[in-house]
Each structure stands twice: as C-alpha cells, then as structure tokens.
C-alpha cells in the first residue's frame, strides 16, 4: 500500500515523465520534454515537495525519505546502460546527504563509484589473505582500574596501507562482507581474550546488518564454546541502528544473547535516535556516550548538560555510563565531577596491538624480565595507577 501511495504521488508530481518501479524501493523517471537539466530539476523539486507530508496507511502515519540522482543525455551517457549507471552514482551521493536531496551526475562520481568497487574487491581478498587484524583499546573505571578492552578492526592492505574502519566497515556493510568480517572479529577477539591471565572484559562491535543476519545468538554461543571464553567477559556493542527497523525482533535477539550470559552495551549513544523507549524495552549493561559530546565539553555548554543528563539517566536506571573519546585532563576532570562510571580514550590508552598492553592483561612480568621499552603513557598504565 505504501508503494502504491508512493507511485500515485510520483505520477501526480511528474505527469510529463515515464515512471517505472525498477526494484524494491527504487523508481526510474524518464523526462524527454523541455530543456535539460532544467526540466529534470523542476520535476525532481516537485517530487521532493510531494514527499514532505507523511503517508497514512491503515490509520498509521509513515514518513519516508526520498533521494534523487539524475543523469542527462547526451552529456552523462549516450546509451541507456551508461545513463542508468551514472544516475545511480548520483543517487548514491544523494543518499549520503542527511536530508531528502537531489544530485546530478558529475564525472568524479564515476571515479568514486569505481574506487568503491575496487575497494570491495580488495576487501573480499583481504579477509581470505588474513590482512585484517584487531587493535585493542582499554576501558577504565573512572577511578583508574582497567575493566577491559574494545576490539577495533584494522585492515593492513599491501597496496593501500592501513585502511581505517570508517572506510572499510561501511563498504563491508554495503556488499555483505560484514558478515564474514564480523564473525572473524568476534572469534578473534574471544580467542585473544581467553588467553589473558586477568579475566578482563572484551567488547566487540556488532553491525546492524550482522545483528539481523542469520542466527547471531547461535554464532556467539558456538564461538564461546570454541574459545572457552567465559560468557560474562564478552560484551557486544550495538548501536541504535539495530533497533530501528524491526524493534520487537531486535529485542528478542538481544534477550537471547543476554540469556547466554553475555553483556550488551549501547554504543555511540546520543548520535542516533536516542529514543528512551529503547532503554525502557531492554536492560542494557552499559551506555557509551558518543565521542562527539566528550570532545565538545571544553567549548559547548549544551554538551556539558547532555553528558550530565545521560550520566544522571544511567544512574537512575542503574546502567553504568562510559564516556568515549576522552582525550584531555579537562574532560577527565569534568567526567569525574559529573559522576561518570567509566572512560575510554586516547588520554588513557590508544587502540594498539594487544602486545602493547601485555602488562594490563597478564599482570606485571617477574622482576628479572622487567624492561621499559615503551614510554609509560602509551601503555595505559598511568590511568591504571591514577586511583
């Protein structure tokens, strides 16, 4: 019914166009009359205006977004295939915009699309060739004691160098590679943590796509058995993205995960929908305040108020609050005063290969083996000693 409603609005807004639905939620319009690109732009603007109001289906209001990508004959292609591909490249850019938007094809978009495609091919091989690795960032009790580590994926590509997760995770999500990648990260982090002398926690990020794919609780259960890691030491970090589309299914998966004995943390809190109903529907074991609010503390009174309010909320709900991205003594001091429970950030320890944190995970070496090859501030020990 929603698709029918969408089609009706499109036809009404673009009577001069040929309109077709070409896939799930994708439509194509062909506009052959008038001067281009002005004519196409005029239609696109009418379309955007037509989608501002909610759709009402079965008495329920539904708001949907609209992104439009355009390509113009003959400048952007002289055959249907090229025109469609270039309109698609423009659509991809339009989708990246936060609001409903319109983009026309530009030649550099073609290169970007090609680059994305190449990156996908490389990433597929990277997993097989073992070019992925995990870095570990310590998490501390505000008083200084180490609690555990967050495992963060890195891609060491022989041709591209060290590719950051902000580049390859979204691409892996787009093409489904996040499934093997996420499974690898989970298994590798659990395997590593099971070797530590100290029973510290290990936090692993779970992408919304991985969360809703297959049987995540079953996979977690298998990996725990395989690696021998105590379930209570594993913490899965999810974002609100997991809860948006199919809330009741998501909550049921979360409950099944919880019943395995693992912990569930809500990552990047404050940047998404931050709906309080999520906190009401499921008992999270930790809330991580997004780095954006922490980095703003020095300059922004609103961020101060928000951070204080989230800490207060956590305390009332008896959920520990961790502040992400703590970089300065000022931020640390503010968080101590505000009663924040835990911190993670460059101030206390950067993400590094686990060898750099050997003393935290295995305790101090015997006196005879002690050597000081690393400056103290890189090992995370200063925070551990801060007490």
**SS3 at position 215:** coil
Using CB under 6 A as the binding rule, whether residue 77 contacts ligand C2E is answered as: no
Could you tell me the two tokens for 285? 């074991």
Judged by CB under 6 A, does residue 332 bind ligand C2E? no
Our finding on whether 267 is near Mg ion (CB under 5 A) is: yes
136/5 Cα distance (integer angstroms)? 49
Tell me if 164 contacts ligand C2E by CB under 6 A. yes
- For residue 288, give the nearest of 265, 258, 317 by alpha carbon: 265
Decide if residue 346 touches ligand C2E (CB under 6 A). Answer: yes
Binding mask 276-295 for ligand C2E (x = CB under 6 A): ---------------x----
Cβ distance to ligand C2E smaller for residue 87 or 265: 265
Residue 69 touches which member of ligand C2E, Mg ion, none, C-beta under 5-8 Å by kind: none
> Which residues lie below 8 Å from residue 280, measured CB to CB, with a gap of 6+?
none
Among residues 201, 268, 278, 338, the one that binds ligand C2E under rule CB under 6 A = 268
CA of 6: how far to CAs of 20, 32, 374, in Å? 11, 22, 61
Rule CB under 6 A: say whether 351 interacts with ligand C2E.
yes
**Separation CA 171–CA 176 (nearest Å):** 8
Contact flag: residue 343 with ligand C2E (CB under 6 A):
no
Identify whether the C-beta of residue 234 lies closer than 8 Å to the C-beta of residue 220: yes
Nearest to ligand C2E of 9, 291 (CB atom): 291
Q: Position of tokens 């659509």?
A: 91
DSSP class of 378: G
Burial class (CB within 10 angstroms; exposed 0-12, middle 13-18, buried 19+) of 261:
middle
Which of ligand C2E, Mg ion, none interacts with 346 (beta carbon under 5 to 8 A by kind)?
A: ligand C2E
Q: Is 182 in the site for ligand C2E (CB under 6 A)?
A: yes
- Binding test (CB under 5 A) with Mg ion, winner from 268, 269, 326, 352: 268
Site for ligand C2E (CB under 6 A): which residue of 166, 248, 368, 372? 166
Q: Does 382 bind ligand C2E (CB under 6 A)?
A: no
Q: Of the listed pieces 30-38, 44-52, 168-176, 320-328, which binds Mg ion according to CB under 5 A?
A: 320-328
Q: Which residues contact 361 (CB under 8 A, 6 or more apart)?
A: 149, 196, 197, 198, 200, 354
Is residue 205 part of the contact set for ligand C2E (CB under 6 A)? yes
CA dist., res. 44 & res. 41, Å (int):
5
CA distance 268 to 245: 18
- Of these, 165, 231, 261, 382, which contacts ligand C2E (CB under 6 A)? 165
- Binding partner selected for residue 379 from ligand C2E, Mg ion, none, CB under the kind-specific 5 to 8 Å limit: none
- List the one residue from 87, 126, 152, 224 that touches ligand C2E (CB under 6 A): 152
**Among the candidate windows 45-53, 240-248, 250-258, 339-347, which touches ligand C2E by CB under 6 A?**
339-347
What is the smallest separation between the CB atom of 168 and Mg ion, expressed in angstroms?
15
Could you say which of 88, 296, 327, 377 contacts ligand C2E (CB under 6 A)?
A: 327
DSSP string, 263-294: EEEEEEETSS---HHHHHHS--SEEEE-HHHH
Q: What angle do CA 101, 291, 343 make, to 5 degrees?
A: 160
| Interacting residue ranges for Mg ion, rule: CB under 5 A | 205, 237, 267-268, 324
| Interacting residue ranges for ligand C2E, rule: CB under 6 A | 137, 152-153, 164-166, 169, 182, 185, 205-207, 237, 267-268, 291, 324-327, 344-346, 351
């Amino acid at each position: 019914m929603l698709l029918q409603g969408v089609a009706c609005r499109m036809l009404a807004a673009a009577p001069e166009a040929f309109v077709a639905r070409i896939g799930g939620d994708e439509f194509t319009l062909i506009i052959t009359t008038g001067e281009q690109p002005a004519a196409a732009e005029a239609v696109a603007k009418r379309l955007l205006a037509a989608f501002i109001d909610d759709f009402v289906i079965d008495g329920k209001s539904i708001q949907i977004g609209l992104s439009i990508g355009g390509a113009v004959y003959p400048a952007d292609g002289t055959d249907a295939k090229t025109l469609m591909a270039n309109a698609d490249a423009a659509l991809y850019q339009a989708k990246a915009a936060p609001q409903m938007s319109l983009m026309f094809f530009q030649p550099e978009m073609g290169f970007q699309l090609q680059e994305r495609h190449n990156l996908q091919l490389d990433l597929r091989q990277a997993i097989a060739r073992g070019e992925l690795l995990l870095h570990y960032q310590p998490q501390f009790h505000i008083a200084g004691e180490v609690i555990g580590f967050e495992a963060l994926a890195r891609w060491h590509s022989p041709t591209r160098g060290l590719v950051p997760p902000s580049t390859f995770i979204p691409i892996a999500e787009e093409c489904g590679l996040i499934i093997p990648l996420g499974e690898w990260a989970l298994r590798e982090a659990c395997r590593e943590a099971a070797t530590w002398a100290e029973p510290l926690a290990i936090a692993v990020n779970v992408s919304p796509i991985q969360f809703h794919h297959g049987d995540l609780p079953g996979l977690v259960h298998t990996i725990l058995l395989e690696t021998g890691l105590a379930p209570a030491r594993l913490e899965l970090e999810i974002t609100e993205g997991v809860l948006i589309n199919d809330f009741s299914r998501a909550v049921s998966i979360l409950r099944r995960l919880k019943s395995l004995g693992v912990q569930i943390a809500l990552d990047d809190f404050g940047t998404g929908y931050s709906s309080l109903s999520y906190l009401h529907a499921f008992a999270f074991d930790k809330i991580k305040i997004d780095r954006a609010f922490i980095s703003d503390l020095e300059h922004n009174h609103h961020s101060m108020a928000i951070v204080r309010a989230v800490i207060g909320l956590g305390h009332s709900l008896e959920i520990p609050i961790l502040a992400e991205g703590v970089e300065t003594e000022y931020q640390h001091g503010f968080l101590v005063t505000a009663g924040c429970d835990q911190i993670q950030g460059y101030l206390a320890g950067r993400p590094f290969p686990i060898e750099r944190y050997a003393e935290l995970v295995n305790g101090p070496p015997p006196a005879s083996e002690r050597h000081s090859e690393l400056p103290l501030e890189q090992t995370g020990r200063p925070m551990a000693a801060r007490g």
